[in-house]
Structure 1
């Protein structure tokens, strides 16, 4: 099935309440999810937030090969989708007063790959000063699926670009400079029919790359959107202009990555095979033993062979959640918390971390998925659709309570840079603290029916994935048939293949 796509599709769609005209309200600009290859900002109604006294702007941008094809040189530098988002921010800043918005109070927010775009743009010199706050939901620039960085050997963008050219029967020179080849490739792509480009791009991803995300942001682009790796930009605290940030993940953010078509868990043999295959695929031989020991220590109890299959599946969910999301989200939060405020105000901006722990009643995922990937998104944006944002049909009182809670905190953050400013008496006594740079001072908000503050207690899992020297970062692992799914497709035996489905 070919996804409809147009080449020039940067759009901004504002949503406001009736009182917004001339009201100078804070602005929230939303970047939608979709694995950098699909999705749209137009599928949500944003009423939940607009009724809280903010103007919401949804942005659409180039996706897939049109957004992220790269030859890793100045000919096709890549990151066009990010450049679209940066341009959209300039446009919003220029015209939002006509819609009752304040151009000096812009919060950029997004979920999944949209969250990674937000995270990248908080680091980009190109968008410095274009927005004042950020909300990063279930994603981030450090997540291993978000950005292709130098030194990685899997799904290299320049190789992918040439592979697309071969599919289109482009005549490319066998001699000459790399840039000469890139220029001939670009000419061939420009001459091709847009629908053919889409067909071949989709076919290449599904057939040749087993569903992996292959068109993603790259570091070192000549546009200057991402001039260095996110890691380098984040560790340059002297240059990093930190802004108030909310960042977080769901309790079972990685559950949909764990294949279990029969809903009966995994055997211990399958469990061990999956862990070893994961390590062998993404870590160099010199590190595999060390990483295996770290994983065993952090996740696997000594009595694991006697655990029930569903218990082993739960451990895999924890591994997938930390590996693809939580560990890197926490690392970025720590680096943001460590960064000083270089805006001249003398006040250090807040970093607020959450763990979303509520499964919406309308979730269509299997129950064992728990609180799945970006489950908070619908409550924030207004899903499922309906005329009354807090009284949808087929929802519960708890759903409506959670929608009220999270939209109140998100809109407060857009207004004040603090999700629970004082006085904040609902829920009674709730005060979301800043996340500290040191593990001894790191508290997060567990967002559930009974929200509560708790210390982040999984520091060892962060070290497993982000603290190993010489690790080989994976090239994709979310919002698509991602790292575990692609791994199974490539490596599992026919016995396991018949048991698992690939998400």
Structure 2
């Protein structure tokens, strides 16, 4: 009997220790082998870091398929980010050899099979960013481990060209632009062709991204080049309709870059730029970091996608029929504009300084420039309707943030949701507002809600992977978001999936019922609402466009 007693625990122990793994995986380029992680009883994960999805790209050219390799490629190290400036515009890092992706494959009980796939596109104003995100104590922001493990989905993160090498355009066929968007598209196509070998379902791919990545997601759903590749999509704080998402006069900046690197600005410009050192080219794509209420920071973001007649054959607003059968979820953070407003109106971050009412008017003037005085007056009356006769300093600061949030993120997202719903075939539409207060703002700015990028830590499960930095309510919130996001990836419905424990039912957004959910650590049925910021949506999408144009560039 004693021997039997020993044998039973030993067999259990062996089962716990022997992690399930894909082992060596065959892809179109060759064999790859990742790292296997044992996460718990009958829970393990294969992580593949740095699989090439395209060849080293030719300068200012679309990506080409990778020629492949012999033997087994050990994919256990993240690869270089694409060449880019640092946030201070003082130095360049990264490599032109940067078109790689990372894959997290969960094995829960048995080897992964036919799992939904979630492909992440990072943000960074089309100028910065990489497939891993910031690193704190070897914990990368965009690690897919928590989403994959908790949601039982495969997570993929990808690299794409940014800055000059990703988006410089002459506005013609000599330098068409959108190279970074073509990189994203090449990665999505690679996943569609290869993910079955990793236990994924190629017919159930969800792309998701934030800020410029959210706009990238939106562009990937409306381009005609992704027909049949994408099943669902999630845009966080960025869509193709954002004012910073399309540059309608790219030639001007291309000529500025050419002059900086001693290239001519005539028909020899493209050939000269292609022969210029890539680090010099990247450095020449720096933008001004100074801004003011009269000249807001958003107007400096000029390295962005263009309507090239190919990837984007028309204005984004005219291309939503291409997303008719893609399920789409989109939203913004309630104070997404705070980060940018702090450049334009620095007084909003001071407890001692009063933000002048004139700064509200100057900001509105900059965002409604072509409409002249009527634009400013209509905007001012819209935003000050609830001020009363003597608005507090906090009220004025929050108004500045609201104007930037609405203009840059929230209103374009509502417009994209409406266009998706009105063009929908089988595709479903969902709208959200993220409003968990910024964790650092509690100390110095108690009025601060969710700032730009505050949602990322919860979507990627940081309250679970770095528990000492968070309260239990933050783990609740992270659990809610992972459940909604992965349920949506599985079924097209954020309420239905393996993680059915969601705080409340999230209704569809339809052309005649603009319902949305407000997501924070307190979310319950009372946070399901309708017609988000209706007065402000009406101003930006109806009142302002119908005013006569007074000035044009």
Band of TM-score, shorter chain:
0.7 to 0.9
Distance 1:382 1:41 in 2: 16
Aligned-residue RMSD, C-alpha: 2.7
Report the equivalent of 1:278: 363
1:95 Cα deviation after fit:
1.1
Report the equivalent of 1:49: 147
When residues 207 and 302 of structure 1 are mapped into structure 2, their CA distance, relative to the original with a 3 A threshold, is closer
Report the equivalent of 1:442: 514
SS where residue 107 of structure 2 aligns?
Answer: coil
Q: Which has the larger strand fraction? A: 2
Runs of 5+ consecutive residues of structure 2 not aligned to the other structure: 1-89, 134-141
Structural mapping, 1:373-452, within 5 Å: 373-383=452-462, 389=465, 392-421=467-496, 426-427=501-502, 430-438=504-512, 441-451=513-523, 452=527
1:205 Cα deviation after fit:
4.5
Report the equivalent of 2:222: 123
Choose the corresponding residue for 2:350, options 239, 260, 263: 263
Distance 1:138 1:399 in 2: 20
Report the equivalent of 1:232: 318
Structural mapping, 1:162-311, within 5 Å: 162-173=255-266, 181=267, 184-202=268-286, 205-206=288-289, 212-219=300-307, 221-222=308-309, 224-234=310-320, 237=321, 240-259=323-342, 260=346, 263-264=350-351, 267=354, 270-272=356-358, 274-284=359-369, 287-301=371-385, 306-311=390-395
* TM-score in terms of structure 2 length: 0.73
Larger Rg over CA atoms: 2
Contact 2:165/2:282 (CA < 8 Å) preserved in 1?
no
Report the equivalent of 2:113: 23
Contact 2:324/2:427 (CA < 8 Å) preserved in 1?
no
Distance 2:239 2:183 in 1: 18
Contact 1:68/1:79 (CA < 8 Å) preserved in 2?
yes
Distance 1:115 1:81 in 2: 14
When residues 26 and 168 of structure 1 are mapped into structure 2, their CA distance, relative to the original with a 3 A threshold, is same
Distance 1:83 1:48 in 2: 28
Report the equivalent of 1:177: none
Report the equivalent of 1:70: 169
Choose the corresponding residue for 1:114, options 189, 196, 213: 213
Higher relative contact order (CA 8 A, sep 6+): 1
1:29 Cα deviation after fit:
0.2
Contact 2:484/2:494 (CA < 8 Å) preserved in 1?
yes
* TM-score in terms of structure 1 length: 0.80
Q: Aligned pair 1:95/2:194, yes or no?
A: yes
Runs of 5+ consecutive residues of structure 1 not aligned to the other structure: 150-155, 174-180, 342-347, 475-503
Distance 2:467 2:145 in 1: 12
List per-residue Cα deviations over 1:22-59 (Å, max 9, x = no partner): 41100000000111000112122122210111000001
When residues 351 and 197 of structure 1 are mapped into structure 2, their CA distance, relative to the original with a 3 A threshold, is same
1:192 Cα deviation after fit:
1.7
Report the equivalent of 2:128: 38
1:60 Cα deviation after fit:
0.7
Choose the corresponding residue for 2:434, options 356, 362, 384: 356
SS where residue 258 of structure 1 aligns?
Answer: helix
